[in-house]
Amino acid sequence: MEQQKRMPRIIRENQILLIVMVLVFFLMSALNGQRFFALDNIASMAYQLPILGCLAMGMMVAMLSGGINLAIIATANFNGIVIALVLQQIMGPENMAAAPLSVSLLAIAIAFVFSMLVGVINGLFISLLKIPDILVTLGTMTIIAGLNVALTSGYTISGFPKEILALGNGHLFGIPSSLLIFIFGCAVCSLLLNRTQFGSSLYMMGSNPKAARFSNINIVKVSVQQYMLSSFFAVLTSLVMIGQLNSVKASYADSYLLVSILAGFLGNVNPFGGFGKVCGMVISVIILQFISSGLNLMSVDSFMITAMWGMIIVVVVVIKGSWPKIAQVLKEKKTQQG
């Protein structure tokens, strides 16, 4: 049947993406030379990648059912703010940093419960009332963002205990802990998507919710789990952000909202649902990080980086759109020669 040996699945499924990654890598290396390979650049990439990475992963989870979680960043900020408020409540407003480990853990746990609650509410609205995801999360985003502002009066709250800071800012065996958190998130997500009833159900529901329902998939349960998982990534993002910024605020990371959707699309997540893998997302986030770090080294404005991220999507869209034609031409050439 097929004479060619089949390539390993990871490569086969992400061909274009890997090519783009390599091209971007070479481009950035060519532009920056040594500096791009330098250990401190690689370290800083590893340090920066997790925020966008976690958000994008959470967005992917929502996109698997053809939806979008607009509330993800609001949830992440909310999570951080709840941690801060619990700490302040127990330790007193000026004394957050002195919180013992047990109090820190308690704060994280309470915030976690609240964030999961947000996921549950999103999932219930979407599945029970059959309202498009984008509208539900637009609503919850607005409410939570408002809540965030109201809870903090729009101010920054800073000065976290070192145990919490270590989660986003520390190192373990020389690896930034934020990267470890991201890897942990990816592993959990990958396990859930590929190895559990929930994962399989989610992919099937994403492709055809009606047929999934008629195959005894509990749509409400899957949606709720899905948005809880999405919120879980918001929690991880929040921990990383607290560690790196040592503060929380209602408006942190706002600019990442749309970018994380782009990352999903770049990572081969089908915007109509049903297809998308952790692996593609990781490559996609790495590409975006290469671009931003490379341009950063050239002291290019951060807005140019946003523009380049947009450009890369357009380029990938064009390549993908023309790929069948190119493949056709290549094939014909091959057969002519052979």
Partner 1 sequence: MLLKAEKITKRYGGVVALDQVDFDMVTGEIHGLVGVNGCGKSTLMKIIAGAEHQTAGKIYIDDVERAPYSPAEAMQYGIGIIYQDLSLFPNLSVYENIYLSKVIASGKKTISPKEFKAGIEEIVKSLGIELDLTANLGELPIAKQQLVAIIRALFNKSRLIILDEPTTALTGSEIANLFKILNSLKAQGISFIFISHKLPELLQVCDRITVFKDGHLINTFDNHQPLQQSEIERAMLGKEITYKKYPSTAGQDVVLKVSNLSLKNNFKDISFSLKKGEVLGIAGQLGSGRTELAMALFGAEPAQSGSIEVAGHQVSCSSIGKAVENGIAYVPEDRLNLGLVIDQSIRRNATLCSLRRLNTFAGLLDLNAYKELAANLMVELKVKFGRISNKISSLSGGNQQKVVLAKWLAIKPRILILDSPTVGIDVGAKSAIYETVHAKAQEGMAFLFISDELPELLSNCDRILVMGHGRIKEELATAGLTEAQLQEAIVRGGA
Partner 2 sequence: MNTKIFKSREFLLFAFIVLFSVLISFVNPKFLSYENFVDLLKSYTILGIFSLGVLLVLLSGGFDLSFTAIAQVVQYAVVYYFIAWAIDNVYVAIVASLLIGAMLGFVNGFIIYYYRITAIIVTIATNSIYIGFLYVVTNGDLLYDIPYSFSVLSDTKLFTVLNENGAEVGVCLATVLWLLMALGLHFFVSRTVLGRSIVALGGNALSAQRVGFNLRFTTLFIYTFVGSMAGFASLIQVSIFQSVVPNSMVGSELEVIAAVVLGGASVTGGRGTVLGTCLGVLLFAVLSNGMTLMKISPFFYEIFTGIVILISVTVNALQDIQRKRSQVRVQVEE
| Cβ–Cβ under 8 Å, residues 15 and 277 | no
What x-and-dash track marks residues 252-291 binding partner 1 by CB under 8 A? ----------------------xx----------------
Q: Which of 259, 278, 283, 286 binds partner 2 (CB under 8 A)?
A: 259
Q: Which residues pair with 175 in a beta bridge?
A: 172
Per partner kind, with CB cut-offs from 5 to 8 A, the member of partner 1, partner 2, none near residue 114 is none
Phi first, then psi, for residue 251 (nearest 5°) are -115, 15
Task: Bin 170: left if φ > 0, else alpha if -120 < ψ < 50, else beta.
Answer: beta
Per partner kind, with CB cut-offs from 5 to 8 A, the member of partner 2, partner 1, none near residue 191 is partner 1
If one asks whether residue 141 binds partner 2 (CB under 8 A), the answer comes out as: yes
Across the chain, which distance is largest between two alpha carbons, in Å?
Answer: 79
Q: Which of 8, 174, 321, 338 binds partner 2 (CB under 8 A)?
A: 321
294 in helix, strand or coil?
A: helix
What x-and-dash track marks residues 158-197 binding partner 1 by CB under 8 A? ---------------------------------x---xxx
Q: Which of 150, 298, 327, 330 binds partner 2 (CB under 8 A)?
A: 150
Specify the long-range contacts of residues 19-26, CB closer than 8 Å, at least 24 apart.
20/287, 20/312, 20/315, 20/316, 20/319, 21/283, 21/286, 21/287, 21/290, 24/287, 24/290, 24/291, 24/294, 24/312, 25/290
Which residue number, 322 or 328, has a Cβ lying nearer to partner 1?
328
If one asks whether residue 295 binds partner 2 (CB under 8 A), the answer comes out as: no
Shortest distance (Å) from residue 231 CB to partner 2? 17
Sign, CA dihedral 211-212-213-216, equals positive
Shortest distance (Å) from residue 337 CB to partner 2? 31
| Residue 121 CA neighbour count, 13 Å, CB half | 17
Q: Which of 62, 82, 192, 261 binds partner 2 (CB under 8 A)?
A: 261
Give the burial class of 220: count Cβ atoms within 10 A of its Cβ; 0-12 exposed, 13-18 middle, 19 or more buried. middle
Separation CA 138–CA 227 (nearest Å): 14
DSSP code, position 98: G
Query: Where do we find the tokens 């065996």?
Result: 173
If one asks whether residue 335 binds partner 1 (CB under 8 A), the answer comes out as: no
Report 108-137 residues binding partner 2 (CB under 8 A): 125, 129-132, 134-136
Considering only the stretches 57-65, 176-184, 213-221, 224-232, report the one whose residues sit in contact with partner 1 under the rule CB under 8 A.
Answer: 213-221
Of 241, 276, 213, 217, give the one whose Cα is nearest residue 68.
Answer: 276
Two tokens at 11?
Answer: 């490569």
Query: Where do we find the tokens 């960043």?
Result: 73
Per partner kind, with CB cut-offs from 5 to 8 A, the member of partner 1, partner 2, none near residue 210 is partner 1
Shortest distance (Å) from residue 95 CB to partner 2? 25
| Cβ–Cβ under 8 Å, residues 72 and 260 | yes
If one asks whether residue 207 binds partner 1 (CB under 8 A), the answer comes out as: yes
If one asks whether residue 77 binds partner 2 (CB under 8 A), the answer comes out as: no
If one asks whether residue 128 binds partner 1 (CB under 8 A), the answer comes out as: no
Q: Which of 25, 27, 139, 247 binds partner 2 (CB under 8 A)?
A: 139
The binding site for partner 1 (CB under 8 A) comprises 1, 191, 195-197, 200-201, 203-204, 207-208, 210-218, 274-275
Contacting residues toward partner 2, per CB under 8 A: 68, 70, 125, 129-132, 134-136, 138-147, 149-150, 153-154, 254, 258-259, 261-262, 265, 271-272, 300-301, 303-311, 313-314, 317-318, 320-321
